[in-house]
Amino acid sequence: MNSVSDRPALIAKAPIPAWRIVGGAFLHFAVPVYVGTVAVATLFKAPAGAPLGDLAHLALGYSGWFLAGYAALALAATVVAAALEPLAGLRRRRDAIDPRRAANDSRMRVTHALAEARSLPGADLRRLVDVLARPRWNHDDERYQALSRDLAQVVHAMAVANDTASDESRTDILALATRSLQRIDDTLSDMVAERSRLDHGDARAVARYVENRYGPSDFAGS
């Protein structure tokens, strides 16, 4: 009866700790950074026409300094990442405790985006803003949440561009904004229509279930 098809539950994998990512990045880039840094330092300090043996001697001298500095930098970055990791964990736990957070964020994005869009001139734009403001958003659905992010990004980009535009380019920016909001409204309309069809199908399924389970009422016509 559910409009969403059943899918096997995915096994959640524990996120990779940030300190491992940072430490791995330093290890991954250690060789190319070493070669580039030591080569530049050697060529910069070596006298003109220095033989290959002198260049190798200088490179070995710089190698020790590089390895010590790179190791210290990698250690410091890894320690900082490990220290900041609990903060990210707190946010993840807070989101897990509050399952409505994503929906609330989506609702606020739409509210703020439409308020910002009303600062843009144009009758067509304002008509689209009024249409998008209608209570058609199902913020519990991840697709609507993604659409709200796109709406907020488009409106903010167009508002910033309009503020800095010349008189010649402002018309083009407003046309771009109108087309973008129209596409978002079309997408929203398609999502609402799809949801209506699925809900209608659920209602029919429930009605058939009740009819098949209980049949005609014994009290009908009494």
The alpha carbon of residue 149 and the mean position of all alpha carbons in its chain are separated, in whole angstroms, by 8
Show contacts of 154-162: CB within 8 Å, 24+ apart: 154/113, 154/180, 154/181, 154/184, 155/113, 155/114, 155/116, 155/117, 155/181, 156/113, 156/116, 158/117, 158/120, 159/116, 159/117, 159/119, 159/120, 162/120
Distance in Å from the first CA to the final CA of the chain: 33
Whose tokens are 């067509």? That residue is 124
What pLDDT, on the 0 to 100 scale, is given for residue 88?
A: 67
DSSP string over 54-96: HHHHHHHHHHHHHHHHHHHHHHHHHHHHHHHHHHHHHHHHHHH
What pLDDT, on the 0 to 100 scale, is given for residue 153?
A: 94
What pLDDT, on the 0 to 100 scale, is given for residue 16?
A: 75
What pLDDT, on the 0 to 100 scale, is given for residue 147?
A: 94
What pLDDT, on the 0 to 100 scale, is given for residue 12?
A: 44
Between CA 151 and CA 53 the distance in angstroms is 63
- Over residues 110-119, the pLDDT tens digits come to 999 999 999 8
Structure tokens at 96: 């897990």
Residues of the chain with pLDDT under 50: 1-12, 219, 222
User: Which stretches within the chain are classed as H helix?
Assistant: 18-28, 30-45, 52-97, 101-117, 123-132, 142-164, 167-214
- The answer to whether the beta carbons of residues 188 and 143 sit under 8 Å apart is no
What pLDDT, on the 0 to 100 scale, is given for residue 212?
A: 87
Question: What pTM, to 2 d.p., does this model score?
Answer: 0.53
Burial class, 168, CB count within 10 angstroms (exposed 0-12 / middle 13-18 / buried 19+):
exposed
Tell me 139's DSSP state. T
What pLDDT, on the 0 to 100 scale, is given for residue 6?
A: 42
